[in-house]
Amino acid sequence: MLIRFALLGLPVLAAATYHDDVQPILKARCVGCHAKGEIGPMQLTTYDEVKPWARSIKQAVVRRTMPPWHANRDRSVPFHNDRSLTEKEILTIAEWADSGARAGKPKPEPEPVRVVWSPRPAPDLIVKVPKFKVPAQGTIEYTFLVTPTDLPENKWIASAEWRIDKRSVVHHMNAFIRPKGSSYVKDAPAGVPYVASKASRGARREDEREVDRRELLIGYEPGYAPIPWGKGRAKLLPKGADIVFEMHYTANGTAMEDESELAIYFATEPPKERVLTITPADTLFAIPPGEPGFASHTAATAKRDLTLLSMQPHMHLRGKAYRITAKYPDGRREDLIDVPAYDFNWQTTYFLHRPKALPPGTTLECTAVFDNSPNNRFNPDAKQTVRWGDQSWEEMNIGFMEVTFPAEADPDVVTLAGTTRPGAAVSPQAPAKPASAPRPNR
Ligand code: HEC
């Protein structure tokens, strides 16, 4: 029977069954999060589990709220880790749900897809995140942990992987490399979970280069799978550097203890190219109360030939949209990523399908748009003027980007705009903390 599926206007055959048509899609695109112990609120690993959700699944995929993927395909470059469904997959699921969500001829249910860790038996270095007690309820503040590595010489990191323990409560984590002598959370005692004050987090030395302060080694977010930087590429872990974890947990109704780890593999030979995370950030904005569309700008200009590997837009609860555009020396402009409906719950790193060459003089323009109006359902308080800060009721505009260049070159490879006044992040008029910050809907 040929029916016309009104919403998408395409003809489809109304014969889809779970086992023949839907299960392969769910297996590839959904069960990574919708399986036991994962972040998804229900399991989608068997027909009996999936059947009662057929309507919601159809709605979620047709509206493209699931799988979570926030880049607009038409205004972004193609991404290696794009998990969005094709039109055909959406149509198959919709048609299956509309025609009675039938099982079809049973086939064995596949094993849930798991993140496959590196095949190498033992990492060279395991950095443990300290045991962290996640309460059943309430807001958990951003916590820092400084872990000295005490390495006697410079090391090249070929790859790093998270081994997340309690996936259902880890909202996201970042691991930063902090070179010796850096001003970054310098007051935090080593080995003890630490909630940084705004001043201690934002403080930096007058003439400090970003590369001497900190570098994002790797981030974790739900649905994460490690993507190696590629052969011959590595990040530098300088002698005497520390690893600083920024940990963000969310309560999910059950108290638990998380013991996650970061596994590090060193390069076996000197790399050809160094991978560096650059961090253009606007720390100087003040978002007026009630403002529905406040734009903040920051940028990084290449001082030499660079290759772009990945991008991670970062804002908090008032984040509305984000765009990164390359402006090339010949005047040409290219949108690299456009996130029209930003969602704080998903701190996604977007890996370019094909690394992009950036000639010297190319400017990467990062535009963040904030919604500080009462219409933003995540807004903790629409009556505040909002400035830069750590906590989710404060804001950030950071465009984390991984670039590569010859390993022996000076790592001061970009000129950053938006951080021109050192120390300006520490605002004299810090916004008041609301009585209770709402928990994002997860
Ligand atoms: C990267 C992790 C991830 C992937 C992949 C994913 N989901 Fe989800 N899903 C979640 C989370 C987390 C939630 C809870 C709501 C939220 O945070 O957005 C959710 C919620 C849902 C809901 C709504 C449940 C409710 O309570 O109403 C449906 C339906 C759903 N997912 C279906 C799917 C389907 C179908 C796929 C694959 C096509 C999929 N999801 C892929 C993480 C994921």
- Low pLDDT (below 50) residues in the chain: 1-4, 6, 115-117, 419-442
Ligand 1 within 6 A of 112 CB? no
- Residue 67 CB less than 6 A away from ligand 1: yes
What is the total residue count of the chain? Answer: 442
Coarse DSSP helix, strand, coil percentages of the chain, rounded to the nearest 5 percent? 10, 35, 55
Selection from 173, 190, 112, 431 nearest residue 289 by Cα: 431
Between CA 133 and CA 63 the distance in angstroms is: 36
Cα(40) to ligand 1 centroid in Å equals 6
- Reduce the DSSP state of residue 87 to 3 states and report it: helix
Q: Is any ligand 1 atom within 6 A of the Cβ of residue 52?
A: no
- Name the β-bridge partners of 216: 176
- Cβ of 280 closer than 6 Å to ligand 1, yes or no, is no
Q: How far is the CA of 18 from the centre of ligand 1 (A)?
A: 18
Q: Residue 26 Cα, ligand 1 centroid: separation in angstroms?
A: 11
Q: How far is the CA of 277 from the centre of ligand 1 (A)?
A: 30
Ligand 1 atom showing the smallest separation from residue 223 Cα: 1
What ligand 1 atom has the least distance to the C-alpha of 59? 29
Using DSSP bridges, classify how beta strands 242-249 and 170-178 pair: parallel, antiparallel or unpaired: antiparallel
For residues 292 and 375, the answer to whether their CB atoms sit within 8 Å is yes
* Distance of CA 23 from the midpoint of ligand 1 (Å): 15
Place of tokens 């699921």: 93
CA 48–ligand 1 middle distance (angstroms):
17
| Residue 89 Cα: closest atom of ligand 1 | 38
Q: Which of 73, 70, 85 has its CA nearest to residue 345?
A: 70
Q: Is the C-beta atom of 138 inside 6 A of ligand 1?
A: no
Strand partners, 215: 177
In this structure, the residue with its CA closest to atom 16 of ligand 1 is 442
What tokens does 382 get? 């629409």
The CA distance from 389 to 283, in Å, is: 8
Looking at the DSSP bridge assignments, the partners of residue 5 are: 10
Q: One-letter amino acid identity for 418?
A: G
259: which 2 tokens?
């013991």
From the CA of 224, how far away is ligand 1's center (Å)?
Answer: 14
The protein residue whose alpha carbon is closest to atom 29 in ligand 1 is: 57
CA–centroid distance, residue 280 to ligand 1 (Å): 31
CB of residue 40 inside a 6 A radius of ligand 1: yes
Between the CA of 441 and the centroid of ligand 1 the distance, in Å, is 12
Whether ligand 1 lies within 6 angstroms of the CB of 37 is answered as no
Burial class (CB in 10 A: 0-12, 13-18, 19+), 364: buried
Taken in order of first residue, the domains within the chain and their CATH numbers are 2-98 (no CATH), 116-271 (2.60.120.310), 273-427 (2.60.120.230)
Whether residue 32 has its Cβ less than 6 Å from ligand 1:
yes
Report which ligand 1 atom has the smallest distance to the Cα of 25.
Answer: 38
